[in-house]
Chain A
Amino acid sequence: MKKSLLTVLGVIVVGAAGAAWIATRAPSSSFDAVAASGAPSDDLLAHGEYVARLADCVACHTTPEGKPFAGGLKMGTPLGAIFTTNITPDPETGIGNYSLADFDRAIRHGVAADGHRLYPAMPYPSYEKMSDDDVKALYAYFMSDVEPVVQANKASEIEWPLNMRWPLAFWNVVFTDGGVYQAKTSKDEMWNRGAYLVQGPGHCGSCHTPRGVVMNEKALDESGPEYLSGAVLDGWYAPSLRNDPNVGLGRWSEDDIYAYLKNGRNQHGVVFGSMVEAFNNSTQFMTDNDLKSIAHYLKSLPANAESTDVAWSYDPATADDLSKDVADNVPGARTYAANCAFCHGRDGRGKNEWIPPLAGVSSMLTPQAESAINVTLNGSMRVVSNGVPDAYRMPPYREHLSDQQMADVLTYARSAWGNTGDAVTAEEVAKLRSHTDPASIDVIILQMR
């Protein structure tokens, strides 16, 4: 009896010691033994700047009015709001004192130099796939070419005991893959480069992959069927990037994907919602080869097995009947004719690649109507391509249409021209109207991504 008690005690002690070790250890870095080297070469700095574009660091680590990379952007988590940090090389308030190994631990392992764990709002489960070369170049860029900014980090609004960070070490054990991207020999070079960019620095899954109950992305690569299968975040539905014909990229060619990421638009649509930021700050700066590799990789992802969608095809009846629908007071038809048709067309086809179609686009076909509602309420952000702002932009209809009018017109558009999206209710519109009103007490702030 005494002996078994001792055994149990022993197991507990060893277990606790192991757990404490996991919770407090600093993960090893491949740069631990690397001594600080001299001034970085121009090539290395250019490479680092490019990696910063790929990883779109600026999107979260900068506020709209703030200095680049000085942090301070508020992000929502289920536990309370957190703020992005200053990643400029200021020694006091930024990362100026970080060694390459410290930097690597933060980027790829989610551990800051003082040992505290980062929240996975920082996409280190994706960044850990980044190569040593890319991390090294990124470090050189941040240390040499980013302007130091003195700006203290803001404390998170998560309260004790939930603000303890050590449990994240266990989250990391369960929900990260562990390791740099390993090329698949069965695939060609282009596929591997695309997979690296999408899974690693590009962290596409942060928005496009659904998350589990503890905010973990349900898959981190193509081995999981839910990888990039679409998710709602920040009041937008980031659609599936798999090959489903209606809710995914099934009807897009590799050239279409390339054009979308390069120019922000193609015949299927124009970037809107959070994707505007990804385009403005990141994808348009990628090389043609990288963009084509991304397209190549995405087109290799199969449609969801349970997808029973019949591929959308255009039905001209709506365009022919619009005047009759207006006369017959079909709900939404008059609002469509007076507010939407001048740009998107009575035929729903938009105007070339400049004004997107509503016929056959995923926001009009997905069961999730968030993106359609949000863009109608709040309009679209400025798309800046090659330094030139777009000539045409969706205006906000927040003050113009009631919840019911907006629900009706979206229901009309989501069932017109062969579209098969579900009806939109006034309640759904009212909810998002409140969540996206800056004056509201329950406004949506950036979630993890």
Chain B
Amino acid sequence: MKLSINNEVHDVEADGDTPLLWVIRDNLGLTGTKYGCGLAQCGACSVMVDGVVTRSCVTPIDSVEGREITTIEAIENDPVGKRVVEKWVEYQVPQCGYCQSGQVMAATALLRETQNPTEDDVAAAMVNLCRCGTYNAIHAAVKDLAGEKGGA
């Protein structure tokens, strides 16, 4: 099966029901995307599929054939993603860092869809879990991005 990941087409040998996360990490060695709960509950495995945030642990690969998948490794090739990472550095968001690639994905997908999200938009989109409790730093960074002049 052919999967387009970070603008590169990979020929993957796996069953159609294999979770995308397994293929990304085990077959392709892109380990920036993390395994958290395996049940779409925590968001650590978030990637973007055609720009929409998607939990790769519950995404069978045959459902994303022919679509463009973006992982954390290529997030800075996206202008919005680049700014998100810059703000993440500026606000020193990560602590242990395990959930952060998912957090960056969620923030990037939000800002791609809504340039100037409201508090409610942010609350609805930023639902990934963080065991360290970096929520305040995430909130500050996203709020900064949300208020950027001319949109993010």
Q: Which of A's residues lie within 8 Å of B, judged by CB?
A: 323, 326-327, 329, 334, 337-339, 342-343, 351-352, 354-355, 391-393, 395
Contact = CB atoms under 8 A, between A and B. Distances in A.
Interface residues of B, number: 21
Contacts of B59: 351
A338 B121 CA distance: 12
B63 A352 contact: yes
B63 A327 contact: no
Interface string B60-97: 10110000000000000000000000000000000000
Contacts of B30: none
B120 A392 contact: no
A342 B55 contact: yes
Nearest to A395: B39
A64 to B, nearest CB: 22
Given A327-B118, A327-B121, A391-B18, A355 B60 contact: yes
Nearest to A391: B17
Given A351-B59, A352-B63, 13 more contacts: A327-B124, A337-B124, A342-B55, A342-B58, A343-B58, A351-B60, A354-B16, A354-B63, A391-B17, A391-B19, A391-B60, A392-B19, A395-B41
- Which of the listed residues A355, A391, A393 has the most CB atoms from chain B within 10 Å of its own CB? A391
B127 interface: yes
Interface in B24-55: 39-41, 54-55
Contacts of A343: 40, 55, 58
A393 B58 CA distance: 9
A412 to B, nearest CB: 14
Contacts of A351: 58-60, 63
Contact of A334 (B39, B60, B63, B124): B124
Contacts of B113: 323
Interface in B1-36: 16-19
Nearest to B123: A334
A326 B119 CA distance: 12
Contacts of B62: 352, 354
A24 B17 CA distance: 57
Contact of B127 (A327, A338, A393, A395): A338
A230 B63 CA distance: 32
Contacts of B17: 354, 391-392
Contacts of B58: 342-343, 351, 355, 392
Nearest to B46: A342
B124 to A, nearest CB: 5
B39 A393 contact: yes
B1 to A, nearest CB: 13
B120 A354 contact: no
A334 B126 CA distance: 12
Given A327-B118, A342-B40, A352-B16, A392 B60 contact: yes
B123 to A, nearest CB: 8
A93 B114 CA distance: 69
A342 B16 contact: no
B39 A354 contact: no
A393 B127 CA distance: 20
B10 to A, nearest CB: 20
B145 to A, nearest CB: 18
B63 A342 contact: no
A352 B61 CA distance: 10
B136 to A, nearest CB: 19
A354 B60 contact: yes
Contacts of A338: 124, 127
